[in-house]
Structure 1
Amino acid sequence: MKVGSDIEAFMDRLGHRFAKPELLVRALTHSSIGSATRPDNQRLEFLGDRVLGLSIAEALFKADRTASEGQLAPRFNALVRKETCADVARQIDLGAVLKLGRSEMMSGGRRKEALLGDAMEAVIAAVHLDAGFETARKLVLRLWGERVETVEEDARDAKTALQEWAQARGLPPPAYETVSRTGPDHAPVFTIEVHLASGESERAKAGSKRIAEQSAAKALLTRLEGDT
């Protein structure tokens, strides 16, 4: 199968030359443009999620042979969650080659976290089907890179940690307030402020309330721990 120069360039960024490039094309095809003659990437996403999970689980298992299941689980979750997959997708500019329907394209689909994360998983599956699990595993570890080594910080649930900090000092749980919501419907930006009953607060912005809350909690916790 002959592919365009954009797909050729993406294979260079990905670091894998496909013997069956039709697998990559399918991995990049969103359901908004899929059809009976142009299958989308949903089945590949299902497989890629499992290939990614096994690759990361094995890497964490080998990296820290003394860690308990309770320590490994949050690290694993931080590395395979949709936000991380989307971040890796941006790293290789996957959005530039996504095949989208007109409505999805007009609504900013190339930048959407869910679409990027799903497509990244589908691409991993395509590599697995094209060249086997070992090649896919090596690709995952190369693309995820230092994230595997520095995951302990990312795995920390800032909201839980901040609540524990407050409870240890006899304070009620932190309160989260949506200060503003800006941007178009397809790409909103939320500003969240977290408050403690003792008067401390911090703000953060993100494309989802959950991420903004985590970022605000992390910022406040970092300041509080620095003060102590």
Structure 2
Amino acid sequence: MMSSTEELLKRLGVSIDAGTLRLALTHRSYAYENGGIPTNERLEFLGDSILGFSVTDALYRDNPTLPEGDLAKRRSAVVSTRALAGIGRSLGIGDYIYLGQGEKLTEGKNKASILADTMEALIGATYVSNDIETARQLVMRLIGPLLKDAAALGAGTDWKTSIQELAASRQLGSIHYAVEGSGPDHARTFRAVLEIGGTAHGKGTGHSKKEAEQEAAADAWRVLSGAARAVAADDSADTAASI
């Protein structure tokens, strides 16, 4: 491995026995190239259930008046491949994953699907090596910050749709994504600029055009939503001053 697994466990804040940890980090591409050894897919299956329950429990308890539909949207946003991959990247999980040569050549350690699946496997491994409460606490440490941003959670289910709805509601004009790719075919990086009404409002990068466009849409949504909150705050202040 490129990095010590002790450092990984330190970042996660949990203890996982060596054998279970290695299994959690074993992608199927590596397993197939090494005699068909076990993969992390069973742990991923287990971790997915623990993740879903833990997030559902937190949302239910912390939002007693929120209807089922809104709870479902928020859960979908924080357990999505995109959200989990983002957490995985922030922890540097990619450097620890056992990948086959093909995935290494195509920058598999940066692929959203592989990172998200590995995060779920690590949650499952935490449960196997400890107990359900330890695994739940890990989920809350990882997901907790996302649960606090209620507005972004709703939009985060699909940033491109959310920014389109926001732009339409304000009559800002048509939306256009300008996307450029760079780098070799096996490790392409895409950069997207989101223009609304001919004006650039957001930028994003990713390992696919879709990922770059989603990042640009998220960037634009945050900027425009932040501007809206600032205007609302100014209006409130003006109203209070006039009273």
Q: Which interval holds the TM-score relative to the shorter structure?
A: 0.7 to 0.9
The Cα shift of 1:37 comes to 5.9
TM-score by length of 2: 0.77
Q: Distance in 1 between matches of 2:14 and 2:180?
A: 43
Deviates more, 1:113-122 or 1:103-112: 103-112
8 A Cα contact 1:79 1:151, kept in partner = no
Name the counterpart of 1:68: 67
The Cα shift of 1:159 comes to 2.9
8 A Cα contact 1:194 1:217, kept in partner = yes
Q: Distance in 1 between matches of 2:226 and 2:6?
A: 48
8 A Cα contact 2:159 2:217, kept in partner = yes
Structure-to-structure mapping, 1:179-218, within 5 angstroms:
179-196=179-196, 198-207=197-206, 208-218=208-218
Q: Distance in 2 between matches of 1:175 and 1:164?
A: 11
Partner of 1:29, secondary structure, is: coil
Q: Distance in 2 between matches of 1:218 and 1:181?
A: 19
Alpha carbons of structure 1 residues 176 and 199: separation in structure 2 relative to 1, 3 Å = closer
Q: Which residues of structure 2 form unaligned runs of 5+?
A: 232-243
The Cα shift of 1:108 comes to 2.0
Amino acid at match of 1:13: R
Q: Distance in 2 between matches of 1:29 and 1:64?
A: 37
Q: Distance in 1 between matches of 2:140 and 2:54?
A: 8
Deviation readout 1:101-132 (Å, 9 max, x if unpaired): 22322332222222111111111111112222
Structure-to-structure mapping, 1:78-117, within 5 angstroms:
78-117=77-116
Deviates more, 1:132-141 or 1:87-96: 87-96
Task: Name the Cα RMSD after superposition.
Answer: 3.0
8 A Cα contact 1:88 1:143, kept in partner = yes
8 A Cα contact 2:193 2:200, kept in partner = yes
Q: Distance in 1 between matches of 2:121 and 2:85?
A: 12
Partner of 1:34, secondary structure, is: helix
Alpha carbons of structure 1 residues 151 and 94: separation in structure 2 relative to 1, 3 Å = farther
Name the counterpart of 2:234: none
Amino acid at match of 2:143: W
Aligned residues: 223
Name the counterpart of 2:29: 32
Name the counterpart of 2:76: 77
The Cα shift of 1:218 comes to 4.3
Structure-to-structure mapping, 1:50-65, within 5 angstroms:
50-65=49-64
The Cα shift of 1:188 comes to 2.8
Q: Distance in 2 between matches of 1:224 and 1:152?
A: 9
Q: Distance in 2 between matches of 1:13 and 1:203?
A: 31
8 A Cα contact 1:191 1:203, kept in partner = no
Alpha carbons of structure 1 residues 188 and 202: separation in structure 2 relative to 1, 3 Å = farther
Q: Which residues of structure 1 form unaligned runs of 5+?
A: none
Partner of 2:65, secondary structure, is: coil
Query: Which is richer in helix?
Result: 2
The Cα shift of 1:176 comes to 3.1
The Cα shift of 1:13 comes to 2.2
Q: Distance in 1 between matches of 2:40 and 2:109?
A: 15
Amino acid at match of 1:6: S
Alpha carbons of structure 1 residues 215 and 92: separation in structure 2 relative to 1, 3 Å = closer
Q: Distance in 2 between matches of 1:73 and 1:223?
A: 25
The Cα shift of 1:177 comes to 3.5
